[in-house]
């Protein structure tokens, strides 16, 4: 605990309370500033579906309605399918990562096989390469060689098992005592059985954190879906929102409604699984 950083003012508790109140006031003020864009987005998403230039608009809309949500959804025949596409892509990306990055992480930490350390080193090294390096060849590969534009596999496969998740899984599995695995082996368990019956039950938390992180990243990703989709019906919600923005530059409220539609699923997820989200931030960042 870091309580020792602050004096507890045991001789004079009122100083203690005044100081903490002042800090709290500042923190709340800063929280208000941080949250303002989000509040603004929610509030104006209920504003009128008209050009903002034609009226002098206030900080918050005067009359609240769902008109702008209707306007955003009727912008394209596929507006609702964008959300569905995002769900499909994010779900399969999560499944791929939890299963395959989990298995790879386990093998890299607990199975002694030939080529293990070299391979892991190469994967680790690849994490330092900026995505700009791979984007052009990847685009040529998927779009020009495989002709996979506007397909789910094109959206899912490249992110199906990321180096980061392999690394995270390996770090975690390393902490599981090897004796546990050895004794299971002596009892006659195969590696697959060990993984299913011993490792997985022990790693529910880390795998949940990994699943949530991956889902969030996949849902929010814009760049790759933007490159490999050209038909509106295959857009993800982020690509759809971007298209709407460039097509309707002056429609404040419908744009906010679109932004809301793209973030609300993640906010719901956040409020129901806050613990895992916050844990995911510090995984891999702080030692010990």
Residues 69-88 that bind another protein (CB under 8 A): none
Instruction: Give the contact letters, 131-170, x = binds to another protein (CB under 8 A), - = no.
Output: xxxxxxxxxxx--x------------xx-xx-x--x----
In the complex with another protein, the residue whose CB is nearer, 12 or 56, is 56
Indicate which single residue of 108, 167, 172, 173 sits in contact with another protein (rule: CB under 8 A): 108
In the complex with another protein, the residue whose CB is nearer, 81 or 280, is 280
In the complex with another protein, the residue whose CB is nearer, 39 or 80, is 39
Query: Residues of 23-51 as b/e, b for ≥16 C-beta within 10 angstroms?
Result: eeeeeeeeeeeeeeeeeebbbbbbbbbbe
Residue 77 CB, shortest distance to another protein, in Å, is 21
> Judged by CB under 8 A, does residue 63 bind another protein?
no
> Judged by CB under 8 A, does residue 195 bind another protein?
yes
The SS3 assignment for 174 reads coil
> Judged by CB under 8 A, does residue 104 bind another protein?
yes
Name the nearest CA neighbour of 253 among 71, 100, 10: 71
The SS3 assignment for 90 reads helix
> Judged by CB under 8 A, does residue 25 bind another protein?
no
> Judged by CB under 8 A, does residue 35 bind another protein?
yes
In the complex with another protein, the residue whose CB is nearer, 177 or 286, is 286
Q: Which two tokens stand for residue 251?
A: 């429609």
What is the dihedral angle through the alpha carbons of 222, 223, 225, 229, rounded to the nearest 10 degrees?
120
Distance CA 32, CA 45 (A): 19
């Amino acid at each position: 605990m870091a309580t020792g950083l602050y004096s507890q003012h045991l001789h004079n508790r009122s100083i203690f309370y005044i100081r903490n109140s002042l800090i709290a006031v500042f923190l709340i003020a800063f929280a208000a500033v941080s949250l303002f864009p989000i509040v603004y987005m929610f509030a104006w998403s209920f504003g009128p579906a008209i050009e903002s230039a034609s009226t002098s608009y206030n900080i918050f809309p005067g009359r609240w309605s769902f008109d702008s949500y209707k306007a955003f959804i009727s912008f394209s025949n596929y507006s609702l399918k964008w959300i569905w596409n995002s769900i499909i892509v994010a779900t399969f990306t999560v499944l791929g990562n939890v299963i395959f990055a989990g298995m790879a992480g386990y093998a890299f930490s607990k199975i002694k096989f030939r080529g293990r350390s070299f391979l892991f080193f190469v994967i680790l090294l690849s994490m330092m390469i900026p995505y700009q390096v791979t984007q052009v060849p990847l685009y040529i590969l998927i779009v020009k060689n495989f002709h996979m534009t506007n397909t789910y596999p094109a959206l899912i496969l490249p992110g199906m098992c990321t180096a980061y998740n392999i690394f995270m899984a390996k770090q975690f599995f390393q902490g599981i005592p090897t004796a546990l695995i050895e004794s299971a082996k002596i009892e006659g368990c195969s590696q697959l059985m060990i993984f299913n019956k011993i490792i997985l039950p022990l790693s529910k938390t880390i795998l949940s954190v990994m699943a949530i992180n991956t889902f969030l990243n996949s849902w929010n990703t814009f760049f790759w879906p933007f490159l490999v989709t050209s038909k509106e019906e295959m857009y993800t919600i982020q690509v759809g929102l971007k298209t709407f923005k460039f097509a309707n530059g002056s429609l404040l409220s419908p744009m906010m409604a679109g932004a809301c539609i793209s973030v609300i699923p993640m906010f719901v997820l956040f409020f129901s699984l806050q613990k895992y989200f916050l844990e995911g931030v510090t995984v891999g960042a702080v030692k010990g």
